[in-house]
Amino acid sequence: MSKHHHNRPLTEVELRVKALESLLTEKGLIDPAAVDEIIETYEHKVGPRNGAKVVARAWVDPDYKQRLLTEGTEAIAELGFSGIQGEDMVVVENTDRVHNLVVCTLCSCYPWPTLGLPPVWYKSAPYRARAVSDPRGVLQEFGVDLPPATEVRVWDSNAELRYLVLPKRPAGTEGMSEDQLASLVTRDSMIGVGLPRSPNA
Amino acid sequence: MNGIHDLGGMHGLGAIRPEADEPVFHEDWERRVFGVFIASFAGGQFNVDEFRHAIERMDPAHYLESSYYEHWLTAVETLLVEKGVLTRAELEARRVKLAKGAV
């Protein structure tokens, strides 16, 4: 990333970060080029388009879907997505009767290889507090209104285990290619706070 | 640890307020903290459990009032000082120097 020049005094937090990074660099403990590459990877290369491919594959291939639901880590790795913060994956399927919602109440555990880095709201106190105690209220805040008969399952991620929601395939998508299907899969639908897009929406 | 981070079920924390088209990082310092954390972790300075625990040990009011990546920054500073990699004096001296515009 280009380092822009500051025309204003640095904030306290900015000074802390610069102090930390410059000292660690001088002591040879971190390499600034490696830090740049790490940033580039997670800012631009890893993201929810990965998870969307997993979902689209599951929608078109019943055998893959079965593997995904029983051996999530390995099935996701088949498509080339694995690595830190995705070492142990469980995929939970939305059906006509069940809607799944994922949270990390204690911090921000999130499946990086399939979804990238989590959004601020996922990591913040309101979502972490209410997803487990008022999931339907949370879903309404996101514009998702479920029939009362739908069971809502909330999965609290932990240090070892990460969850990915397999959304329901939208109606009217028969005959669509995997790429076209993947374009309907939103990041929010794989967390469970949204639904995939409908075709021609 | 039954600390402030154990937020599940807590009342009174307000609306969720998702941001539309949110960027991965909102500030340059956030992306630097992210990169420095990963590089330090990869270099074996600490493990992820220690890192989470260092966040959980933050002052509760500071935890609730500070942003996510400030949690990360605080945890990395804490761990590196506790492990003798850096000292508070070094960090403070460098901050003072940077604030004066000299590097």
Token pair of B1 as six digits: 């640890």
Q: Which residues pair with A152 in a beta bridge?
A: A99
Tell whether pTM > 0.90. yes
Mean pLDDT of B47-53: 96
Does B74 reside within a domain?
yes
Give chain A's mean pLDDT.
95
Cβ distance A39 to B31 less than 8 Å, yes or no, reads yes
Please give the domain boundaries of chain A with CATH numbers for all domains: 12-45 (no CATH), 48-191 (3.90.330.10)
- Residue A4 above 60 pLDDT? no
- For residue B45, the enclosing domain spans 28-99
- Residue A52 above 60 pLDDT? yes
Does B60 reside within a domain?
yes
Nearest to residue B78, comparing CAs of B96, B49, B58? B58
pLDDT of res. A107: 96
The three state secondary structure string of chain B is CCCCCCCCCCCCCCCCCCCCCCCCCCCHHHHHHHHHHHHHHHCCCCCHHHHHHHHHCCCHHHHHHCCHHHHHHHHHHHHHHHCCCCCHHHHHHHHHHHHCCCC
Distance, in Å, from the CA atom of B73 to the CA atom of B2, rounded to the nearest integer, reads 22
- Residue A92 above 50 pLDDT? yes
Mean pLDDT of B36-41: 97
Per-residue confidence band for A2, with pLDDT thresholds at 50, 70 and 90: very low
Does B7 reside within a domain?
no
Query: What percent of chain B clears pLDDT 90, i.e. is strictly above it?
Result: 95
Q: Are B1 and B53 in contact (CB under 8 A)?
A: yes
Does B8 reside within a domain?
no
Does B23 reside within a domain?
no
pLDDT of res. A1: 44
- Residue A27 above 80 pLDDT? yes
Per-residue confidence band for B102, with pLDDT thresholds at 50, 70 and 90: low
Residues of B in contact with A120 (CB under 8 A): 19, 22, 26, 68
Catalytic annotation on A124? no
Does B14 reside within a domain?
no
Residues of B in contact with A141 (CB under 8 A): 15-16
Distance, in Å, from the CA atom of B16 to the CA atom of A117, rounded to the nearest integer, reads 18
Catalytic annotation on A108? yes
- ipTM comes to 0.96
> Pick from A107, A121, A126: which is nearest to B55 by CB?
A107
pLDDT of res. A159: 87
Q: pLDDT, tens digit, for every residue of A124-146? A: 999 999 999 999 999 999 999 99
> Pick from A16, A27, A103: which is nearest to B95 by CB?
A16
Does B18 reside within a domain?
no
Per-residue confidence band for A34, with pLDDT thresholds at 50, 70 and 90: very high
Cβ distance A129 to B85 less than 8 Å, yes or no, reads no
Catalytic annotation on A198? no
Catalytic annotation on A183? no
Does B12 reside within a domain?
no
- Residue A6 above 70 pLDDT? no
Q: What is the CATH number of the domain that holds B32?
A: 1.10.472.20
Distance, in Å, from the CA atom of A12 to the CA atom of B33, rounded to the nearest integer, reads 14
Q: Which of A22, A107, A124, A133 is catalytic?
A: A107
Mean pLDDT of A98-110: 97
Report the domain count for chain B: 1
- Residue A7 above 80 pLDDT? no
Whose tokens are 């403070």? That residue is B92
- Residue A37 above 50 pLDDT? yes
B47 and A CB contact within 8 Å: no
More confident residue, B71 or A7: B71
